[in-house]
Structure 1
Amino acid sequence: MIFSQDLQKDGISSRAQISMLDNTFLRLVFSFSAVPFVGIPFAIWLYLLDDELGPTIAWIIFYLFCAVAIRIWHRHYLRDSQEHEADAVLRRWLPRVNNIAFIHGLGISSLYAIMPQTRNFDFFLLLNISIAAIVAANATHLTPVISTFTRFFFASWGVLIFGMLWRLNDAMVIVLMLNLLYGFAIYRHALTSHAFFIQQARLEEQSSRLAEQFRQAKEEAEQALLDKNQFLTTASHDLRQPVHAMGFLIEAIIHKNQDDTLTPQLLDLQQSVRSVHLMFNSLLDLSKIESGNVSIATTRVDIGALLNSVIALFREEANSRSLTLRIWRPKRRIIVMGDPLLMRQSLINLIQNALRYTQQGGVLVAIRPRGAECLTEVWDTGVGIADEEKGKIFSPYYRPELAWKIDSAGHGLGLAVVARCAKLMKVRYGMHSVEGKGSRFWMRFTQYVGDENMPESLPAGENTIAPARYAPLRGSCLVVDDDPLVTSAWESLMSTWGITVRCAASAGEAFAIIDEGFRPFAVLCDQRLRSGESGFDVLKALFERLPEVSGAMVSGEFNSPTLQEAEEEGYLVLRKPLEPAKLYALLTQWSTR
């Protein structure tokens, strides 16, 4: 096992040694098969010289039998290589291959020794050259296993030198000297080739290790991403509950507030909750995109109407900070192809990002037809982006240094969501920014060419604008939710609008309230209840009991199969945190039925 130990010192594994032994053994198989054909021309030459042919014919027949035998051995070797461990194969077959090489070396040069004592110098010179060529050819292919080559080389070259000494004469002295020099050169070449094969094997193993490390790191990263997305999916409901309750409670406090000096602080608090809501949505949207849970529904979208609904979300924030928020668009209606939800989320993130990092001046949102495309741009007069940071601006969790100085509350997710949405819709996007002067972010949508008399493709419930003041409403509402903080927020908000609210934590409590004679005009039901019941099943059961009642599912889950089923069956699903303006608009509509 000298060979195996030497390779292990060089950092070569048993599997790499087997690979080298494969090549060496295969070369021996070929050499044994080819050598008999080398003896045939010399046999013919001896026949023409009328010398004895017996030893040469016997040598040829011997090598033909050896060629068959080594092929059978090689098949056994291949079978053992597949069935046994590399170390076991090396222990068993390396000595055998070395012995085969030694016999082969003796056999090749023995042709020189068994030739009859012909005085034809040209004959022996050509035979010497032929044997030297065979040895030189094997020097390249047997050197991966240096122990195999050395046995072959010293056996063949030793017999060749012995044969020359046996026939030594004046002419042979020169040939002997050349053979010694040539043998030294072949051996040096073999050592160099062996070093090259060792280095190549080491590089291949390093490459394999790096590839395996990369694969493992990739799998770990993918698993971490799945774990993170699974956590967000699982925790979504619980995380949205307090934000949902805070939004309702703040709206109720603003409605009941009689102290004008508190109004600015309350509005700031309300805006902060909305910012948390938008940031939380960005995080969940990014998780949905990364986990592949976003379904693309490319359709015709009135981008002007969509933009109006988005601008309405930020107008109050811009006014409170003395910033201008303007929109420029052509007079004609522009219809583009895209996914309405992804388009809306992209525009929300771009406008929110522009307002956040603009301290003075304003934001301009422009719609510009450009041939077959529609260029949608968001301009701002904010801090801009440094040149060295522009290449990373769309990366998740990355925020420029200037952005940190202005607002340290962000998480660097908004633009990452824009980039992912654009890629999902297969639309081009980009940015241009000058540090200290502002930025321009853009997306290019394909224009729809056809009949423009079509309904606007806006997400359900997204085109409502909060009224300045809420007119009183009448009637009763049943809320099925098991979180006391949330039910208290429902009661506080809707009572300010004049609505009587009863809350239930389970189906049993809800039906008990109905049995008492309570008749609501609307039912709002959470999906995940601590009782283990499905909120959707509870809602359907209440609709069967009260067929004239309107209602909806209200949930913080964004990837629930039950909620998807509810939407497919035509039920209204509202996502927490729910905007009070949207809730008021729905209650107004339901109460007038």
Structure 2
Amino acid sequence: MASPAAAPPAEGSDDAPISMEGQARLLQMTFGFLLTSIFVLPLVSLALTLFYAQGHDARWMWVWCGFYALFALVMSVQRRLHLRDRKRLDAQAMVRKWKPRLEACALLHGAGITAPMAIVAGHADYDFALLLLVTNAAIVVGNATLQTPVLSVFMRLYMAGWNASLPLLVWVFPGHWHAVLPLALLFSLAIYRHSNATHRFFVQQVRLEERGAQLAARYLAARDEAQAALEEKNRFLSTAAHDLRQPVHAMGLLAAAIARRNHDPGLSAPLADLQRSVHSVNRMFNSLLDLSRIEGGHVAVHAVPVALEALFGDVLTLFREEARTRGLQLRVRPPGPQAAVLADADLLRQSVVNLVHNALRYTLRGGVLLTARRRRGGWQIEVWDTGVGVALEDQLRIYTPFYRPQHAWNIGNDGHGLGLAVVARCAKLMGADYGLASRLGRGSRFWLHLPAATLVASHALPARHSGLAWDAGGGSPPDLGSLSGTCLIIDDDPQVATAWAALLQAWGISARFASCASEAWALVDTGFTPGAILCDQRLRSGESGFDILRALMAHCPGAYGAMVSGELHSPELQEAESEGYLVLPKPLDVVRLHALLAQWLEPRHGR
């Protein structure tokens, strides 16, 4: 029975075959060392010939000297040919063409080393013979150390340049051969072992280089693949944001409409839970999109002096009602009207908002303090809370995405472990230090350290759609009163339109609905005069919602208008904001929407 074939050596092992590129590299090293040895020999041969000519007939030694001069000239021509071939031939062609040439040159070089031993045999005195033997030994040793990348090349020089000269020692040292020959044989064995060890060293070096190149190529491929996957994920989140938010948007409107019409006390708690769930999903969408934009490198950082007093006031306004409904104290201690830090205004605001929101979420009693202190030549923004705290083993992971300590789940499941991850990414983009100090069950102190800046002008932060007037953290939704007036909704999703109709009808607003520009203009042309126009940006007709809103606002100068979209960072919406139009994010916060429509539609509020 035939024995099974041996498995090939594993890639990267010591017995793995060397690639053709590696063989070409070894051949190149061998060629360089062989050239050096041959170029030195004309000088060596000239010195030996002059020494021998002092008391002997040196005609054949002069011939030997001329041979090496010619040999060196021929090898210089070969070097130029080799350099030319390296530019135009691949590795396999180089090895196939030049390996036989180098083996022939090494054989000829070895014969040239042995030649003077044959020339002077029986004629040279002991001193010259010993000098010649030592010179040949030095040449062989040097080649054994440097010329063994391709072992077959050195072996030809070794056999012709040293072993072939061993029988001649009987005539070269007629009175001492019995002592010189055994030593020469031992030297031959040592050279053989040394040449094999040196060859293995060169081969291992090339193998390690190849393995390193393979690992580097794999790393680059893996990095490119990971980068492509990250970009694909970010592109998906960005393009799918609108479609992902549509059902959540519709659920939020319907939940508010049902809560408005509900007269059953037993349904109040489930409806409040439903609205809290909608807000929780909304926060997750916002955090995911913020994180994907930051990781995708789509956030441009513009460092400007940011006034801390304005920032803290903005955050206080945003979270004051949430803290009140949860029975918590939210205190703000700005360092002074001239205190400012050098940071990107949007990234800094997002970081502080996330820190305060995180502190309120995990604080059951007591309160939260937002303050800033001078530290290390800058300002350290700190958020203190009397919440559940962070265990020591969790503190190193608390800033990683989707990580929540176990005790956090005991408080509620509306968090997603993204708020602090966004803080960490924002801080790194701004070059800010960040950290925390916490004791489990006693509270935490989260901080950001930024360089101080001189406040040369007002740097108040722009108002953004960044929070909830009523948060899902606790309490019941506020009671929203009846409204009056007319509203035009432009949205091509039937479910969303149905939810809009239910909510606006529950509030007492007369609403009309259109899915494209032609339907909207048809309503206006038939005499419908809207007091408010809310237009979705992405329409299935392919039309730009902003263009439709702008045209309708020009035609209805008495109306107010806003864009409604789940894509918060599209160029069209950025253009709308730059022109002064309001952009409302999906899912809509019904409390903010009610307050906005009350201001727009109620005559008592005026313009």
| TM > 0.5 fold call | yes
User: Structure 1 residues 410, 209: closer, same or farther in 2, change over 3 A?
Assistant: farther
Aligned to 2:195: 190
Specify the alignment match of 2:535 in structure 1: 525
Map of 1:538 onto structure 2: 548
SS in 2 for 1:48: coil
Summarize the alignment of residues 460-539 of structure 1 with structure 2, pairs less than 5 Å apart: 460=464, 469-470=479-480, 472-539=482-549
* Residue 338 of structure 1, aligned match among 336, 343, 357: 343
Whichever residue aligns with residue 270 of structure 2, its letter is Q
Pair 335,264 (structure 1): closer, same or farther in 2 beyond 3 Å: farther
Residues 401 and 263 (structure 1), Cα distance of their counterparts in 2 relative to 1, 3 Å cut = closer
How far, CA to CA, are the matches of 1:299 and 1:259 in structure 2? Answer: 53
Partner of 2:3: none
Counterpart check, 1:148 vs 2:153: yes
Q: Is the 8 A contact 2:378 2:450 kept in 1?
A: yes
Task: Name the structure 2 match of 1:256.
Answer: 261
2:368 to 364, 368, 385: 364
Q: Tell me the distance in 2 between the aligned counterparts of 1:474 and 1:347.
A: 38
Equivalent residue runs for 1:238-277 within 5 Å:
238-277=243-282
Letter in 2 for 1:21: L
Which of 26, 29, 33 is the equivalent residue of 2:32?
A: 26
Q: Which residue of 1 aligns with 2:20?
A: 14
The reply on whether 1:199 has 2:209 as its aligned counterpart is no
C-alpha distance in 2 between matches for 1:96 and 1:509: 86
1:577 maps to which of 587, 594, 599? 587
**What's the offset of the Cα at 1:510?**
0.3
Cα deviation code 1:82-141 (max 9, x no counterpart): 433323332332222212111111111212222375442111111111111011001011
Does the Cα contact within 8 Å between 2:257 and 2:502 map onto a contact in 1?
A: yes
Show structure 2 runs of 5+ residues with no match.
Answer: 1-8, 471-476
1:335-377 deviation line (CA, Å, top 9, x unaligned): 444333323322332233334444x434413213315533322
Q: How far has the Cα of 1:444 moved from its partner?
A: 2.2
* CA offset digits 1:506-562 (Å, max 9, x no partner): 000000000110111222111110111111221222133223432122111133222
Is contact 2:340–2:455 with CA below 8 Å preserved after alignment? no
3-state SS in 2 of match to 1:392: coil
Deviations along 1:305-332, one digit per CA (max 9) or x if unpaired, are: 5445445555565566x55242241584
Report SS of the residue matched to 1:170.
Answer: coil
Distance in 2 (alpha carbons) for counterparts of 1:520 and 1:404? 47
Question: Is the Cα–Cα contact under 8 Å of residues 350 and 418 in structure 1 kept in the other structure?
Answer: yes
Residue aligned with 2:436, SS: strand
Instruction: Tell me if 1:170 matches 2:170.
Output: no
The partner residue of 2:110 within 105, 114, 128 is 105
In the alignment, is residue 37 of structure 1 matched against residue 43 of structure 2?
A: yes
Matched, 1:93 2:93: no
Which residue number in structure 2 is paired with residue 47 of structure 1? 53
Between the aligned partners of 2:578 and 2:118, the Cα distance in structure 1 is: 93
Higher mean displacement: 203-212 or 34-43: 203-212
Using the TM superposition, give the Cα deviation of residue 273 of structure 1 relative to its aligned residue in structure 2, in angstroms: 1.8
Which amino acid in 2 is paired with 1:546? C
Deviations 1:436-468 (A, max 9, x none): 44332111234443468x473232466995695
Flag the 1:323–1:527 CA change in 2: closer, same or farther, 3 A: same
Q: For residues 492-515 of structure 1, give each alpha carbon's deviation from its aligned partner in whole angstroms, at most 9, with x where no partner exists.
A: 333344322111000000000001
2:444 pairs with 1:439 = yes
Tell whether the 8 Å contact from 1:464 to 1:585 is kept in structure 2 after alignment: no
The answer to whether structure 1 residue 278 and structure 2 residue 283 are counterparts is yes
Q: What TM-score, normalized to structure 1?
A: 0.90
State the AA in 2 paired with 1:123.
F
Q: Structure 1 264/376 Cα, relative in aligned 2: closer, same or farther at 3 Å?
A: farther
Moved more, 421-430 or 380-389: 380-389
Structure 2 Cα separation of the partners of residues 505 and 537 of structure 1: 14
In 1: Cα distance, 2:303 partner to 2:597 partner? 31
Q: Which moved more, 1:165-174 or 1:279-288?
A: 165-174
2:231 paired with 1:226: yes
**Residues 119 and 330 (structure 1 numbering): CA distance in 2 closer, same or farther, change over 3 Å?**
closer
The answer to whether structure 1 residue 560 and structure 2 residue 570 are counterparts is yes
For 1:346 and 1:146, how far apart are their aligned partners in 2?
Answer: 65
Deviates more, 1:180-189 or 1:494-503: 494-503
Whether the 8 Å contact between 1:52 and 1:116 is mirrored in structure 2 is no
Which deviates the most, 91-100 or 454-463?
454-463
Cα offset for 1:302?
Answer: 4.3
Which letter maps to 2:557? P
- Does the residue aligned with 2:298 lie in a helix, a strand or coil? coil
Is 1:459 aligned to 2:469, yes or no? no
Seen in structure 2, the aligned counterparts of structure 1 residues 447 and 32 have a Cα distance that, compared at 3 Å, is closer
What's the TM-score once normalised by structure 2's chain length? 0.88
* Distance in structure 2 (CA, Å) of the matches to 1:157 and 1:139: 11
* Structure 2 counterparts to residues 100-139 of structure 1, below 5 A: 100-115=105-120, 117-139=122-144
Residue 548 to residue 406, structure 1, CA distance change in 2 (3 Å): closer
| 2:382/2:445 contact within 8 Å kept | yes
Deviation at 1:484, TM superposition (A): 1.6
The DSSP-based 3-state class of the residue aligned with 1:391 is coil
Distance 1:64 1:405, change over 3 A: farther
Structure 1 position 430, deviation (Å)? 0.6
Tell whether 2:379 aligns with 1:393: no
Identity across the alignment (%): 46
CA contact (8 A) 1:536 1:553 kept: yes
**Deviation (angstroms), 1:379:** 2.9
Superposition deviation, residue 483 in structure 1: 0.9
**Shift in CA distance, 469/24, structure 1 to aligned 2, threshold 3 Å:** same
Counterpart code for 2:25: S
For 1:538 and 1:297, locate their aligned partners in 2 and report how far apart those are by CA, in whole Å. Answer: 32
**2 CA distance for matches of 1:433 and 1:461?**
31
Q: Secondary structure in 1 aligned to 2:552?
A: helix
- Offset of residue 482 of structure 1: 0.4
Alpha carbons 1:309, 1:463 under 8 Å: kept: no
Note if contact 1:10-1:198 (Cα within 8 Å) is conserved in structure 2.
no
Distance 1:561 1:328 in 2: 35
1:295 shift after superposition: 2.7
Matching residue of 2:64:
59
Q: Taking structure 1 as reference, are residues 409 and 141 closer, same or farther at Cα in structure 2, changes over 3 Å only?
A: farther
Seen in structure 2, the aligned counterparts of structure 1 residues 210 and 451 have a Cα distance that, compared at 3 Å, is closer
Tell me if the contact between 1:312 and 1:465 (Cα under 8 Å) persists in the aligned partners: no
Point out the more displaced range, 500-509 or 212-221.
212-221
Contact 1:309–1:464 (8 Å) recurs in 2: no
The secondary structure found in structure 2 opposite 1:18 is helix
Q: Mark the CA change 1:461 to 1:416 in structure 2 (over 3 Å): closer, same or farther.
A: closer
* CA offset digits 1:235-276 (Å, max 9, x no partner): 100111122222223233333333444334333332222222
